[in-house]
A and B are shown apart, each in its own frame.
Chain A
Amino acid sequence: MSNLSWIFISTMLVNNFTLVMFLGLCSFFGVTGKIETAWRLGLANTFVLLITALSAWGLNTYVLGRAPYLRTIAFIVVIASTVQIVEMAVKKYLPVLFRQLGIYLPLITTNCAILGLALFQTARNYNLAEGIVFAFGAGFGLTIALSLMASIRERMELADVPSVAKRMGLVLVIASCLSMAFMGFAGMGSAQ
């Protein structure tokens, strides 16, 4: 049990997917203009990560043992089609949730965090329970990182920055500071 909580904390804070492992940076820089969209995207990501963990576990257990060279192709195709099916199901049965997630649900498929989760889960030989906890930790970590970044950028809208820093340059320096803050958790060790 302590192993599971350790995986959760370590994935969420110590090895935060976005700020320490550099996964899912496209959405981190692309969709963090508003805090509202940022945390919604984070939760949508968590949802897809959970599905990914389940399908990656299934693939690893039943299929890829015999054909490891198909790993990349199998993961991306299965993840993409599962997300598609889930999207259709959510649209039909939970239309409110679907409207809240909006375009983010399909976009998430090509997020590196999703494939990254499947690959790291494979590399570390997680079992089903560990995989699910890993997905939750990664998803909450993403949500935290996205919300932090979005709230800083909302403040920055009002700040008077030099014209050189108007574009992405300053955002990257801020990301560096955030990442540095998260390095503080490294004192808790790493669960490799």
Chain B
Amino acid sequence: MSAINAPEPGAADFVPGAPPPATVYADMWRGITRENPVLVQFLGMCPTMAVTNLLANGVAMGLATTFVLVGSGLFVSIFRKYIAHEVRITSYILIIATFVTLADLILAATFPDISKALGPFIPLIVANCLLLGRAESFAAKTGPARAVADGLGMGLGFTFSLSMLSALREILGRGSLFGHDIFGPHFEPWVFMMMPPGGFLALGIALLTLAFIQGRLKARRARLAAGAA
């Protein structure tokens, strides 16, 4: 396997002391947790906020992006030795655009109403910095297996964040989930959450909560360490 000779971008991330899991799984987990594209790396912001007003839209966008990430990761990795350095960005963009077109056509053929709701935001996946970022920083440096695992992990992490955000916005802004009413007729919807400012606010709240929890965990760990010493 060429992956053995290639530099391993993920290798430095392992927590010392923890049992090292098989690399492919590690590549996947990284994307979902410690290097989550939305919550940690802050990439791919446009779709994150533009389509997360309904859970169905968020999930569809996440899965479409996962498909493109896996496909482009695989092809960039396969062709990495043949693509000249000077034209690499253009080549990656071409590969990505091909898979985005595929996703666009498949979605339009299978789920026409979701495709209509997402509109130009499906072709806009091309301009999602996450895709070019993964192609350039990971897929172009490793073998196909790890590139696919990384794409899958990043895609699932992206889907997870989008689902959480859109669930929050749909519950608060409409009192429903996947279009099913969950609070009954007495619920007064917080329409603000469905509108553009609600998108910024929902992600802002998510990030603040995350920072708060991280701060608490760090303080607790410091306390435990102090107690042990």
Instruction: Show the binding face of A for B, using Cβ within 8 Å.
Output: 19-26, 28-29, 69-73, 75-77, 80-81, 110-112, 114-116, 119-120, 123, 163-173, 175-177, 179-180, 183
CB distance from B49 to the nearest CB of A (A): 5
The answer to whether A19 touches B207, judged by C-beta atoms less than 8 angstroms apart, is: no
- Interchain CB contact (< 8 A) of A173 among B49, B93, B119, B200: B200
The answer to whether A72 touches B97, judged by C-beta atoms less than 8 angstroms apart, is: yes
- Which stretch from B13-21, B71-79, B121-129 is at the chain A interface? B121-129
- Interchain CB contact (< 8 A) of B129 among A110, A165, A168: A110
Rounded to whole angstroms, the CA-CA distance of A76 and B123 in the bound complex is 10
The answer to whether B197 touches A180, judged by C-beta atoms less than 8 angstroms apart, is: yes
CB distance from A25 to the nearest CB of B (A): 4
The answer to whether A164 touches B197, judged by C-beta atoms less than 8 angstroms apart, is: no
CB distance from A87 to the nearest CB of B (A): 13
- Interchain CB contact (< 8 A) of A167 among B105, B120, B201, B211: B211
Find chain B residues with CB under 8 A from A180 CB.
197
Known contacts A69-B101, A72-B126; is-contact A168 B120 (Cβ 8 Å): no
Find chain A residues with CB under 8 A from B196 CB.
19-22, 179, 183
The answer to whether A25 touches B49, judged by C-beta atoms less than 8 angstroms apart, is: yes
Interface core residue of B93, B101, B120, B212 (most chain A CB under 10 Å): B120
Name B128-144 residues within 8 Å CB distance of A: 128-129, 132
Find chain B residues with CB under 8 A from A19 CB.
196
The answer to whether A73 touches B207, judged by C-beta atoms less than 8 angstroms apart, is: no
Find chain A residues with CB under 8 A from B208 CB.
164-165, 169-170, 173
Find chain B residues with CB under 8 A from A170 CB.
204, 208
Find chain A residues with CB under 8 A from B179 CB.
none
* Total residues of chain B contacting the partner, CB 8 A: 39
Q: Does B98 contact A (CB under 8 A)?
A: yes
Find chain B residues with CB under 8 A from A81 CB.
90
The answer to whether B94 touches A116, judged by C-beta atoms less than 8 angstroms apart, is: no
Instruction: Show the binding face of B for A, using Cβ within 8 Å.
Output: 42-43, 45-46, 49-50, 90, 93-94, 97-98, 100-101, 104-105, 119-120, 123-124, 126-129, 132, 195-201, 203-205, 207-208, 211-212, 215
User: Please, could you name 23 A-B residue pairs with CB atoms under 8 Å apart, sorted by A?
Assistant: A20-B196, A23-B50, A29-B45, A69-B105, A70-B101, A72-B97, A72-B101, A76-B126, A76-B127, A77-B94, A80-B93, A81-B90, A116-B124, A119-B124, A164-B208, A165-B211, A168-B204, A169-B208, A172-B203, A172-B207, A176-B199, A176-B204, A179-B196
- Interchain CB contact (< 8 A) of A73 among B98, B119, B120: B98
Find chain B residues with CB under 8 A from A110 CB.
93, 127, 129, 132
CB distance from A138 to the nearest CB of B (A): 14
The answer to whether A168 touches B200, judged by C-beta atoms less than 8 angstroms apart, is: no
The answer to whether B203 touches A120, judged by C-beta atoms less than 8 angstroms apart, is: no
The answer to whether A22 touches B204, judged by C-beta atoms less than 8 angstroms apart, is: no
The 7 closest A-B pairs by CB, nearest first: A172-B204, A176-B200, A25-B45, A169-B208, A119-B120, A22-B50, A112-B127
| CB closest chain-B residue, reference A19 | B196
